[in-house]
Amino acid sequence: MRNRNLLNRKLDTLESVLINLKRIVNTQEPVESYKINIGKALGLIEDIKDMVERQPLSPNEINRL
C-alpha cells in the first residue's frame, strides 16, 4: 500500500480526537467543543476513506468484484 505512513498518521490523529472526545465527556465541557471535535473526526474518516479508494486494487480484490 502506498502512503501507508500518511494513513497511519491520519489514524493516529483520529485516535487522539476520539480520546479528546472522551475527555470532554468526562469533564462535562460545553456541547460546542464536543461538536467541533466530532466534525474533526468525521473529516478524518472521510480523508481515510478517500485514501483507501485511491489505492489500486490487488488482483485478489479485482477477482472478488
What pLDDT, on the 0 to 100 scale, is given for residue 1?
63
Q: What value does the CA radius of gyration of the chain take, rounded to a whole number of Å?
A: 16
What pLDDT, on the 0 to 100 scale, is given for residue 36?
94
Of residues 65 and 18, more confidence is placed in 18
What pLDDT, on the 0 to 100 scale, is given for residue 64?
64
Please state the pTM of the whole predicted model.
Answer: 0.76
The domain segmentation of the chain, as residue ranges, is: 4-53
Residue 65 has pLDDT above 80, yes or no: no
* Each residue's pLDDT tens digit, 1-55: 667 888 899 999 999 999 999 999 999 999 999 999 999 999 999 999 998 888 8
> What residue has cell string 498518521?
9
DSSP-derived secondary structure for 5-55: HHHHHHHHHHHHHHHHHHHHHHHT--HHHHHHHHHHHHHHHHHHHHHHHHS
